Amino acid sequence: MRLERSTGTVIHNRRFARRAGGHSRLSYPNPATHAAPPKIGQIKRDGAAKSFSPGLPFSPPTIDPLHDASFVAECAEGILNGLSDPVIGIDRDGRIKTCNAPGADLIGLTIADLTGRSFAEVFCAENAWVADCIEDVLRTRQTAHIERAQLSFADKVRTVRATVCPLTSHEQPEPMGTLVMLKEIGAGRQFAATMAHYMNPDLMDRIRAGDGETWKSKDTVATILFADLRGFTAITEEIGAQKTVRLLNKYFTLMVDCISAENGAVDKFAGDSIMAGFGITRRKGDEEDRAVRAGIAMLRALDTWNTQRISEGRKPMQMGIGMATDLVVSGNIGSPKRMDYTLIGDGVNLASRLESACKHYGSSFLIAESTYSKLDGAYKIREIDEVIVVGRTQPVKIYEVLDHRETQMTDMAMELFALARSHYLSGNWDVAIAGFQNVLALDPADKVAALYIERCRRLAKNNPAQWNGVWMLESK
């Protein structure tokens, strides 16, 4: 039995359909538009629809099942009890209002014992991720999907897929509560779901299809992204180990969603750092644009999260992103006892160095010329330097992506910055300093312009005899 509300309420009854030789649909009209009582039934045979009138004592103007509380309650209870998966309803006060038998069995309590309890009391300790998710849904009014997580009740650990959605109505925009729907993942699906968290889905599909070439190391042109949180060590010292894990899981969830949305593949997590690749398994020709869009989305997602954290009295977090495109080696790398499917190469090192260079420039997003030169989309990007990073002998031009900034840099400021850099490259230090000061007058938050003023003053004192505009970055 299925209830569906559109222009009217539609009830499908498969048992009646089997007897009727087709499928039935019993339609109740929309209460806002019930004029003349229509035919209330319909049988379909061989694609043809025929109306019927079963002679039920039904009068739409006087009996409105959609507004009959007992009717709705009976339908809701019937649907809830008919589901084989756990479903838990929570009211606006955070207390469990209803729960079906599978939900009670999962938690290990009776329905009577669960009813009226606070969700924070039921979903605590290692299950606190459910409580966090419920709070997020109540605050954002957006449905949350958790593809794979673990629940531990009565010394039994289960792997589940979870959906938490807000309960709203047209009359009341504020959520009336939340609905938690859980689906236990079987052994086979659990393995597939587990593997999907450790490797690119496209790579996993090729493995499952029996592609023997997948594991072999090969050369491929890919765009590599490195991201790292700033000042994270100080935050972890304040909040402790358990809260640090929850903080990282929230951060990684936001970032991975942005990367996955652009078909990127997370290669690894290292502490609070993320390494991802675009174009690892197969190139589509737009890897550089997808990577840049992912980076912009990551910084915007962090800004949104920081707004929430500040409103809760917590410290905001900063992040740096470095990106480069190059020929890398992808495949199984390691020892016979421990292998890792990963990427190595000069482009990987360069992306990592540019992520670290964000701290030097006071920037959030730096890309190498190898990525910039292949972009097709329109972005707010400026060339900021030509440098030799640690571990390389050849200089590389680096560019700053500015699209994520809340206060966009004006075209005039970008033009003045480019003009000041031209004087810097020519060794006209005083003129360059004046130019960068003009940039700061238009955009006081431009940390790169401030850095160039200090650099030009140092160069004016030393006045290098052979100046080619290339700067040596001494730190990793």
**pLDDT tens digits for 291-308?**
999 999 999 999 999 999
Q: Judge if 104 and 217 occupy the same domain.
A: no
Q: Judge if 343 and 231 occupy the same domain.
A: yes
Token look-up 């500040």 returns 310
Could you list the beta-strand ranges (E) of 18-131: 23-29, 41-45, 48-52, 87-91, 96-99
Q: Judge if 154 and 256 occupy the same domain.
A: no
Composition of the chain by helix, strand, coil, percent to 5: 40, 30, 30
Dihedral angle of Cα 122, 126, 127, 132, to the nearest 10 degrees: 100
| Domain that residue 88 falls in | 83-191
Distance, CA of 57 to CA of 403 (rounded, Å): 64
Q: Judge if 179 and 232 occupy the same domain.
A: no
Q: Is the pLDDT of residue 203 over 70?
A: no
Q: Judge if 156 and 52 occupy the same domain.
A: no
pLDDT digits (tens, 9 = 90+) for 329-384: 877 777 777 767 778 889 999 999 999 999 999 999 999 999 999 999 999 999 99
Query: Nearest-CA neighbor of 298 among 350, 259, 249?
Result: 259
Average pLDDT over residues 212-219: 64
Q: How many structural domains are present in the chain?
A: 3
The band of 62, judged by pLDDT with boundaries at 50, 70 and 90, is very low
CATH number for the domain spanning 362: value is: 3.30.70.1230
Which positions ≥6 away from 14 have C-beta within 8 Å? 1, 23
Q: Judge if 162 and 231 occupy the same domain.
A: no
Dihedral angle of Cα 359, 360, 366, 367, to the nearest 10 degrees: -130
Neighbours of 392 (CB within 10 A): 14
Q: Write down the pTM of the prediction.
A: 0.62
* Total number of residues shown for the chain: 476
